A and B are shown apart, each in its own frame.
Chain A
Amino acid sequence: MTTASTEGSAGELRHAIEFTRTTVRFGATTAVNGIELSVPAGRTTALIGPSGCGKTTLLRLAVGLQRADLGDVRVLGRRIESNSLAELRHSIGYVVQEGGLFPHLSCEKNVSIVAEFLGWDSERIRARMSELCALVQLPEDLIARAPSKLSGGQRQRVGLMRALFLDPELLLLDEPLAALDPMVRAELQDDLKQIFARLEKSVLLVTHDLAEAGYLGDELVLMRAGQVVQRGSLRELFEEPTDPFVTSFVSAQRGARDVLAEAAQ
């Protein structure tokens, strides 16, 4: 199923996601405007930009929640097609802002719902559950509770467990920390960074917070009005802006310089 352009020398995917002249319109508004973007495999890419720049739409395109009006989207080397979409989604972990946990199911059931659907036996589910609790640092006794009995940070950890349960190749996170208070957020940022480093998965993270993008992302993609303005490291955005918009966007977010300084030490 893979093509030459997405294969590296070792036969592995070079690009987890490729957008080719992709356009999405909502009525008169163009959310994504003929974008060309490839998201490298095995690394963390952070999509940033002001509200309404199309970054969330891009993420939804990658998991098939949104159709492209024009152009092409390839995920894990495969075109998004409705008859193979469910299967493709088993290779994608998707985390939304508030965790997206189903209130009528316990955390445990939320996490294992797809594995159960795929017929995993309970032994295998239990083993995977403890493994993931350890990874996301969630006390195992909390997992039997209803989502409403957990704190916001804990719920996000459960959401991450659900996304990781089938050991997907690609992880998509839509503003995963935006709804959390600063203390919890900082702690979870640290944990996420470690988890990403350990798993070496392809990660695409949407955030409007430049500091968070700089801290978690190997590479940043700055968007504006449905197009990519500049991609590169946080340092490159600060020191080699290709557009006045880049300068104004990075200088508006004060905490980001600290991340840069920290990384330099």
Chain B
Amino acid sequence: MRALALLLCLAACAPVSRDLRVGSKRFTESRVLGELGVIVARGTGATVAPRTEFGGTMLAWNALRTGAIDLYPDYTGTIINEILAGESIESAEELTEALAQHGIRSTAPLGFNNTYAIGLREERAHELGIERVSDLAQHPDLKLGFSNEFMDRADGWPGLRETYGLPQSDVRGLDHDVAYRALESGALDAIDLYSTDAEIDYYALRVLEDDRAYFPRYDAVFLYRAELATTAPTLVRELDRLAGKISEDAMVAMNARAKLELVPAATVASEFAASQLDLHVLTTERTLAERLWLRTKEHLTLVLISLFAAIVIAIPLGILAARRERLGQVVLAITGILQTVPSLALLVVMIPLLKLLGAPSTYLIGSAPAILALFLYGLLPIVRNTHQGLKDIPGDLRDAAEALGLSARAKLWRIELPLASTSILAGIKTSAVINIGTATLGALIGAGGYGQAILTGITLDDTALILEGALPAALLALIVEYGVRSKTRDYS
């Protein structure tokens, strides 16, 4: 297994140089700040790998802690209440101390506080007479929708409900970007906001007063690995120079540029760097054809390597399962269970698993864990169909083959596998189609591919960008499903 993991890593990743790796979370503001981090790093003359996006706080934090990335932007409130939730931090000194325990340092606050808030459409708030969070208690029938992270976080909904004694039962978790659309359409009455969200103005939302001071401060900072102080001292100095440079208004404006005007995050960040920090770094825009080609390459790499590995492992497993019935049931059960694990969970679990297997830190995010997850996902259809195809060989043919006096190997290759080939090929095709779809989630752990366009498109509410990822993925699946006719032979 260890050797296999290593093989996947070697196959998946280009030779590794110690490029600086900047991460971000998946929402607009984090992406813009991440790009700003990239620009600052480039400004120091460092070679910087493309920014990696993560689908959640703990993913980004773990990537930083394990050394898969070198820095990413986060918020003091998030660090204290979510990441280091068990450590009851009261002061800035205690925070520095606690981060140091993990080999992590923080810059001074960048200048703005992006706290959580609760918002309603202005007219709805007016109609119900709601101005403060505590007013919500009078309206138990309100439909609430919160970002998935907010639903579970220590500083999120559970604490808010308790602090204000909120009675609402119709509360659902959903993607933050989708929440704005649901609010606008009236499907939801109130959602959580980030106070620097550009949508607050855009959708004319009323931000409720946090009258019991529930939400802490969420000052934006960059978290970075402590060793940068020795390996890249200029970078640390430059990051520290950002302290206090980004005002709340400036951040809202940047969010609006990126989110509402659909200007790429890299461009927004470079405009800010040029005008406010006098930092001029060229960012290059890719054409549609270049983007498609790049994502297709990334996507095919994920699918083909994982599929190839799945075929190499699953066919022998299927043969083994057909030979030894008892062991076969165990093999089928294990591969079956692997497939019932939700694909996102499987992807995320791969990161600590790879670390456990001793993979170097640069392989912990990106294509390696995605390929490993897709490989595990692809096993079942091939194992099952190989097993079934061999089991379905009629008894008289089995006897005839056995009585010929061939070696076991010759019998397998010349007779049994060809007879089972229709079934095996169908299994491979199923695996390929499943993996093409599942690989789009790989973008959540930085694997790129079509999923990158879909995720960024969802973040930006940019349907064209979503389609830029979704259409090629669907097309690829259709090509495999209908284009690759498995050679079904007609024996009748």
Contact = CB atoms under 8 A, between A and B. Distances in A.
A98 B404 CA distance: 16
A226 to B, nearest CB: 20
B279 interface: no
A99 to B, nearest CB: 8
B154 to A, nearest CB: 62
B418 A104 contact: yes
Given A102-B419, A104-B419, A114 B404 contact: yes
Interface centre among B397, B404, B414 (most CB of A within 10 A): B404
B405 A85 contact: yes
Interface stretch (A40-48, A89-97, A122-130, A195-203): A89-97
A100 B405 contact: no
A66 B81 CA distance: 70
B3 interface: no
A97 B404 CA distance: 16
A62 to B, nearest CB: 10
A98 B407 contact: no
Contact of A98 (B396, B410, B491): B396
A100 B489 contact: no
A148 interface: yes
A90 B414 contact: no
Nearest to A95: B400
Contact of A87 (B403, B405, B490): B405
B406 interface: yes
A88 interface: yes
Contact of B405 (A90, A101, A104): A90
A57 to B, nearest CB: 12
Interface in B82-109: none
Interface in B210-242: none
B399 A89 contact: no
Contacts of A113: 404, 406, 414-415
Tell me the dominant secondary structure on chain B's binding face: helix
A92 B403 contact: yes
Interface residues of B, number: 21
A98 B396 CA distance: 8
Contacts of A148: 490-492
Contacts of B405: 85-90, 92, 114
A228 B72 CA distance: 86
Nearest to B418: A104
A216 interface: no
A68 to B, nearest CB: 17
Contacts of B418: 102, 104-105
A146 B490 CA distance: 11
A65 interface: yes
Nearest to A87: B405
Interface string B385-408: 000000000001101111111110
A88 B405 CA distance: 8
A234 interface: no
A26 interface: no
A96 B402 CA distance: 12
Interface in A94-145: 94, 96-98, 100-105, 113-114, 117
Contacts of A98: 396
B407 A96 contact: no
B404 A96 contact: no
A90 B406 CA distance: 9
Contacts of B419: 102-104
A73 to B, nearest CB: 15
B400 A96 contact: yes
A94 to B, nearest CB: 4
A150 to B, nearest CB: 12
Contacts of B414: 113, 117
B424 to A, nearest CB: 13
Interface string A51-89: 000000000100111000000000000000000011111
Contacts of B410: 117
Contacts of B403: 63-65, 89, 92, 94
A89 B411 CA distance: 14
A100 B396 CA distance: 6
A94 B400 contact: yes
Contacts of B400: 94, 96, 100-102
B466 to A, nearest CB: 45
A90 B404 CA distance: 7
Nearest to B393: A102
Given A86-B406, A114-B405, A104 B489 contact: yes
Contacts of A117: 406-407, 410, 414
A82 to B, nearest CB: 11
Contact of A100 (B399, B406, B492): B399
Interface centre among B401, B414, B419 (most CB of A within 10 A): B414
A200 to B, nearest CB: 22
Nearest to B408: A86
Nearest to B492: A148
Interface centre among B396, B400, B410, B490 (most CB of A within 10 A): B400
A103 B393 CA distance: 11
Contacts of B397: 100, 102
A100 B407 CA distance: 18
B491 A89 contact: no
Contact of B399 (A85, A86, A96): A96
A101 B410 CA distance: 16
A110 to B, nearest CB: 9
Contacts of A65: 399, 402-403
Interface in B400-440: 400-407, 410, 414-415, 418-419, 421
Contacts of B402: 65
A102 B492 contact: no
B487 to A, nearest CB: 10
- 9 A-B pairs with the lowest CB-CB distances in the bound complex, closest first: A89-B405, A100-B400, A103-B491, A94-B403, A86-B405, A104-B418, A90-B405, A63-B403, A100-B396
Interface of A: 60, 63-65, 85-90, 92, 94, 96-98, 100-105, 113-114, 117, 146, 148
17 contacts: A64-B403, A86-B407, A88-B405, A89-B403, A89-B404, A90-B405, A97-B396, A100-B396, A102-B397, A102-B415, A102-B418, A103-B419, A104-B491, A113-B406, A114-B404, A146-B491, A148-B490
Given A86-B406, A94-B404, A113-B415, 14 more contacts: A85-B405, A87-B405, A88-B405, A100-B400, A102-B397, A103-B419, A103-B489, A104-B421, A113-B414, A114-B404, A114-B406, A117-B410, A146-B491, A148-B491
